[in-house]
Each structure stands twice: as C-alpha cells, then as structure tokens.
Structure 1
C-alpha cells in the first residue's frame, strides 16, 4: 500500500508492505538502481547508507517497544532524491506515520515541512525518529531510578528479575542504535554534497542526537550493572545473616539436646534423679547454658 503527498514540485511516497504494483510504480516513476529494489524486499538488513548518481539510499532500524516489554527491530528504508522522498517499511513506524498524517491532514504542516526542500522534510523525519528513541531511553532511566529506590526497601529478590529485564532491554537498544552511528556520521558529508552547505547544521544535529542516545545508553548500562552488583551484595548479606542466625541457633540447641539425651538415659544414678524438682533443675541448667552462650556470642559481636 502506498500513500502520496505532493507539494509544489516535491513528492513524498510512503509505502507500507510493498507489493509488485508498488515496485513497478517506483520503477516507472524514478530511475533507481536494481540493487535498491532488491534491498527493499521484506528482510532485516544492516543499517547502511549508499550514494547513487541521483539519490541517497538509507536503511535504518527503529526499536519498537512491545507491550510485553520486548524490543522489536523495525526496519525502514529511505530513498532520497533532489525533489522526492520514498519511505518503505513493513510495520507501523510511529514517528514516520505521525509526520505523514500531519502533512496529510494539515496544509500548514505540509508547508512547514516541505516548503524549504525535500532535504528539510528528511531532517524532520529523522529528527523525530531520534527524539522518540531518546524518550524511550529516558523511560528506561526512570525505571532504573525506581529499581534503585526499591533495592533498599528489602525487595532484593524481586529486583533480581527487574534488573535482568532492564539489562536485556538496554542491550537490545544498544544492538539497534550503535550500528547506525556510521549512517549518521556519513550523512553529514554525504548530505552536504547532495543538498549543499546550508544542510550541514541539520545533519550535524542528527549526529549529535544519535551520539547523545549512545552516551545515555552507555550510562544506563553502567548504572544497571552497578545496581546489579549492589543488589547481589545485599542478597548475599541477607543470606549470610540467615545462615549466621541458623548456625547460632543450632550451636545453642546442641548442648541442650545433649543434656536432654543424657537425662533421658535409662539409669538409676543420674544427678537430680527422682528429685521433686528434677524437671525444673534440668530446665534451669539448660537456661543457664543457653544464656551463657548467648552472652558469649554477644561479647564476640556475633549477635
């Protein structure tokens, strides 16, 4: 399915799930290299930028955050000519669709985005694309802050799962974002050569935003790894505390069990045997021993 927006001598063609008819339409309307048509078939390609005689071909990946928290790679292709822009994708790319809808429904927006040149419209799309990615990473940073607060509220075991989930989310984002650095870096010189020096600022801005996304992801990665280590230490300390308490209880019960076993022997010459207060004397002896051991443990600062 293809949708078209025209403004003066400029045209933007947005293709979703291209079929044979869409491919033939592009072939007949634009002089594109055969390799370009092979690349826009439905498959995931590595982010790339290629310069042809009369257009620039770009492959980018969009990180789509699914409802279950997983990160899905959405590829979209851009064919950028002097007076035309072709965007091709197989899933809904939110920033791309939003801009297309704005231009379709509002002549004011269409003029704002397409009045200067097709290069400016291209900048608007990528700028929106990068800023949406940045907002998603800001959301991850917010989730990291929540985890940091929860860790010290005795929720260490619950945080193990949360930290692992956030760590995987950051790694998935990094795998999508990092390979696109070369695209945005190359775009500065390629774009300037194609559209002129006045576009250097626009394409440099895109590269700076992408670099900010990378730096934010790198910081988030370091933060979640630090929280993971802290949480592991807290879990270990809690387990050690539990083991220490159980060990002390076992040590205290050992002599009491021994005393109970001795007085449980079937002999006639045990101390206090057949005494009126034999039960209370034995219990008292047990209390004295356990109290002495507790006092000793406290003096040693084991309690």
Structure 2
C-alpha cells in the first residue's frame, strides 16, 4: 500500500510511505525519482543488516528497530527486529516496511510544521534516531529486568534447570542486536561527516554510543551469569559426588569383612567361636567410628 504523506509544493519535499512493498509498487516511483534497480531489489528482499549506499541522485538506507512485543524465544534477525528501507534526497523520502511500525506512525502524525519534517535530512535523522531509541528502550525496560530475575534464580533458587533455556534466548537476542548495532555505526559515522553534521546528528551519535555501551554491559553481565550458573551446577555435582564417595569409604571395609566371612570354607575358626558374631559387629562399628573421626579431623564432613 502506497501513501503520500508530504507533497511538494506544499512542503519542501515528498514523503511517500509503502507498506508491504512489492516490485509493482516501484513502477512509477522508479521513473519519477530515477531509482536504481539494485536499491529496489535490496528493498524488496527480506533480511539485510543496517547499511547506507550512495547513488547518483539519492541515498539508500536500511535501518532496523525492535518492536515492544517481540517473542521471548525469538533468536533470529527477522524475528527480533523490523526493517525500514529509505530512499532519500533533498527532494524526496520514500520509506518501505512490511509491518506497521509505531514510531513511524508517530512521525507521520506530527504537525507538518514540526522541525523533524522541515527537510528530508531532518526526517531521515529522526527516523534513524527513533529506530535506535527502540534498542535502548528494550534493554532498559525488558532485558535488564529479565536479567535481574535470572540472577535471583541463580543465587536464591535450588531448581534452576528451566531457567537455562531462557538465559540462552536472551543471550542470543543480545548477540543479534549487537551485530545490528555494529552495522549502525557506519550509518552514524556517515551522518556525522562535515557535509551532513548538525545538532541532530550529534544527538544521534550520542544515542548510538549510549545504546552500544548498554548492550556491551548487558552482554558481559549475561556471560558472567552463565559462567556463575555453570560453576554453581558444577559445585553441586561435586558435592553429590563427594557425599557418594564418603558413603563408599564407610562401606568399603565393612563390605570386605562381610565378604571374607561370607565365604563357605570349612576351616574358619571364627565361625565356631561363641563371640564371633559380636566381635565382627564391634569391629565394623569401630572401623566406622575411626573413619568418621578421621573425616572430621580432615574437615571432610
């Protein structure tokens, strides 16, 4: 669906928005704005990380944002993020996307005199900043809260098995998002070039630096939490093995004694002895006591 949001001469530039774009939607736009086949093909294809390309008479930009309600078990670029393709020059801006995007709708509903709509560069900068802001909002409102909950589970709860799957997904989401942010750096650096630089591009750079730092910190926290989890599980396993070993040490000499006197030889004097049974029982109790006090002395119990 093609919607004309701003038009010349009433405004300084044309803004055309396309929802769920197909190759047919670009038939007239290609001729009117002299769009290159390669950029149209990139716009139609699913996937692609953020990038910016310069053509003869316009720029082609791909940005990504994160919806507020993405699934907790999402672990791929397409599941976690939404893509917006942008064709822009001084005279026009064309935005193309497959889903309704909240911040894009908010920009469309702005008063036409708003500073963000005074030039195509201002609009593109606002689009990029709004997309980056969704990354910051998700890490502060969702991922940090989840990580705090998982940290409590690791340190305070004994049953931790189901939590490992959840921690895997949040780690995977952070890895995907950090990959997206790495490609955003090229866009931010491009807008910060002298011919494009202004107060808004500086704000964009500051937002990118802040968001990148947030994700670096939460990635480190997630890795540390995973390491702590495996250490705790390893210690728990070692504790179980320790207890089993202690039990085995107690029973080894007792099993030996029982095995010796369980042999059916005719010439075993102790079997005929009146106090043989009592003596063997006392011997077993004495050995158990010796092992117990030895373990206590070594602080193994």
TM-score interval for Structure 1 and Structure 2 normalised by the shorter chain: 0.7 to 0.9
The Cα of 1:35 is off from its aligned counterpart by 4.0
Q: TM-score, normalised by structure 2?
A: 0.83
C-alpha displacement of 1:278: 5.4
Structure 1 95/115 Cα, relative in aligned 2: closer, same or farther at 3 Å? closer
Mapped contact 2:22–2:44 kept (Cα < 8 A): no
| Aligned partners of 2:116 and 2:126 also within 8 Å | no
State the alpha-carbon separation in 1 of the partners of residues 86 and 145 from structure 2.
Answer: 32
* SS at 1:18 equivalent: coil
Q: Confirm or deny: 8 A CA contact 2:63 2:85 kept in the other structure.
A: yes
Contact 1:61–1:75 under 8 Å retained in 2:
yes
**Structure 1 residues without counterparts, runs of 5 or longer:** none
What does residue 238 of structure 2 align with?
240
Give 2:21's match in structure 1, choosing from 18, 27, 40. Answer: 18
The answer to whether residue 93 in structure 2 is matched with residue 85 in structure 1 is yes
When normalised by structure 1's length, the TM-score is: 0.82
Unaligned ranges ≥5, structure 2? none
Whole-angstrom CA distance in 2 between matches of 1:44 and 1:216? 25
Per the alignment, do residues 295 and 162 of structure 1 end up closer, same or farther by CA in structure 2, a change over 3 Å counting? farther
Paired residue for 2:6?
6
Q: Is the 8 A contact 1:17 1:91 kept in 2?
A: yes
Residue from 268, 283, 286 that aligns with 1:285: 283
| Residue-by-residue CA offset, 1:29-74 (whole Å, 9 max, x unaligned) | 4243454334323243453223445433212233553353324334
Asked if 1:169 is matched to 2:177, the reply is no
Alignment pair present for 1:42 and 2:45: yes
Partners of 2:144 and 2:88 in 1: how far apart?
Answer: 34
CA shift in 2, pair 1:203/1:268, >3 Å: same
Give the SS at the match of 1:271: helix
**Residue in 2 that maps onto 1:127:** 129
State the distance in 2 between where 1:230 and 1:262 align: 48
Q: Matched residue pairs, number?
A: 290
